[in-house]
Chain A
Amino acid sequence: MSTDVFALRNVDYSEKGMELEIIVEGQHKLQTVIYADVDYQGEKWYYTQEGHQYILDARRGRVSQRFVTGYLDKIPVIIGQPIATGRDVRHKENHLYFGEIAVAERGYKKELFVVLMKKTNINVVWNFYWLEDGKIPHSVDVLYRTRRARKYLRGR
């Protein structure tokens, strides 16, 4: 299976190249669509050039997170079948989708990742990273959880 975000199966490239405007903190920002998909509840979201470049730049900044850029193909899988989702209690535009990925760099151990979705006038992937502490932070108001999420919610 391809890990190239421009050639994934089961996502919709029909709007590729289209420019959308997302309103964040009252500011209008243009986003160029790479693909669209729906989340576990059937809600449409976009993966954009700007988000893609941001994730690449941000994750490459740190040695321990660089490997994350090799797993960008898992973003639609996590959003489609999360083990938990939640909303940031401090900023309700931020929705978090938690999922496990078997990481080759860690001996195929399943590790916890989060996709941060910005939900305003449209839904756009805003960030993606490995949760090194293996915990869903207390600042997340959990909206949906599976049995798999239990161990990541310990202490709550």
Chain B
Amino acid sequence: MAHNLKVVYDERDTLEIWIPEFDVGPEYDREPGPYEMFSNARLKEADSALDWLIVNSFSHAYPMIMAEVRNKETSIPDRYNVSEFGLYDVPLSAVLEYVYQTYVLKRPSPVLEATVVVVQQAIPLPDHVIRKTNIRDNTRLLVRVIDENTLQLSKVDGDDRK
């Protein structure tokens, strides 16, 4: 199951990320999370790799922390959702990359436009997916490249083609 994240990147170049459902106050004991190049913690006996992280000077720190996150991610199964970014079921590195691309470099993360017709011809969507999403042949989709193994599909706003 992917954890929902709250992500704040501010004008002082500070990035703070946390899991709102574990933001329960200071009374509960924490322990260090898995990353060493930035501050991160988790509630003791929690099931997630981390509940909180903070990075100062994120724009400068990005290459160093990404190297550590990508290196350790292979052994950390945690996945995350950041609904305000349209990111779902992605690793932490994808969240960091999105913030860097969008807010530091101020360019949108790589988004390609495609039509679902190719996807549907190759892999027919199950009926329940079609019912839930209303995705049919020729529905226009945005294809967001999360990482080399993950694509995220979302409907183009205002596309009512059937």
The interface residues of chain B lying within 8 Å CB-to-CB of A135 are 32, 39
Known: A62-B18, A106-B26, A127-B14. A116 touches B56 (CB 8 A): yes
Decide if A90 touches B52 in the complex (CB within 8 Å). Answer: no
Q: Is B40 an interface residue (CB 8 A)?
A: yes
Asked if B26 and A129 make an inter-chain contact with CB atoms under 8 angstroms apart, the answer reads no
8 Å CB contact of A132 from B27, B41, B64: B41
B12 within 8 A of A: yes
Enumerate chain B residues within 8 angstroms of A46, measured Cβ to Cβ.
none
The minimal Cβ–Cβ distance linking A90 to chain B, given in whole angstroms, is: 4
Residues of A within 8 A of B8 (CB): 58, 61
Binary CB contact string for chain A from 66 to 104 against chain B (1 if under 8 A, 0 otherwise): 010000000000000000000010110110000000010
Q: In chain A, residues 95-134, which have Cβ atoms closer than 8 Å to a Cβ of chain B?
A: 103, 105-106, 116, 126-127, 129-134
Complex CA distance for A94 and B58, rounded to whole angstroms: 12
A54 and B57 contact, Cβ closer than 8 Å, known pairs A105-B27, A139-B64: no
Q: How many A-B residue pairs have CB under 8 A?
A: 81
Contacts of A103 in B (CB 8 A): 26
Query: B118 at the A/B interface (Cβ < 8 Å)?
Result: no
B23 at the interface (CB under 8 A from A): yes
**Other-chain contact of B41, A61, A94, A133 (Cβ < 8 Å):** A133
Number of interface residues of B (CB under 8 A): 29
Selected from A62, A127, A137, the residue in CB contact (under 8 A) with B36 is A137
Verify if B76 is at the interface (C-beta below 8 Å from A): no
Nearest-neighbour CB distance to chain B for A92, whole angstroms, equals 9
Further 5 A-B residue pairs, CB within 8 A, beyond A127-B12, A127-B56, A131-B41: A64-B52, A90-B61, A116-B56, A132-B39, A137-B37
Please give the residue numbers on chain A whose beta carbons come within 8 Å of chain B beta carbons, in ascending order: 54, 58, 61-65, 67, 88, 90-91, 93-94, 103, 105-106, 116, 126-127, 129-135, 137-139, 155
Give me 10 A-to-B residue pairs in the complex whose CB atoms sit less than 8 angstroms apart, sorted by A's number.
A58-B8, A61-B16, A64-B18, A64-B25, A88-B60, A90-B64, A127-B56, A131-B41, A137-B36, A139-B61
Q: Which 7 A-B pairs have the closest CB atoms?
A: A132-B41, A133-B41, A91-B57, A133-B32, A91-B60, A138-B36, A90-B60
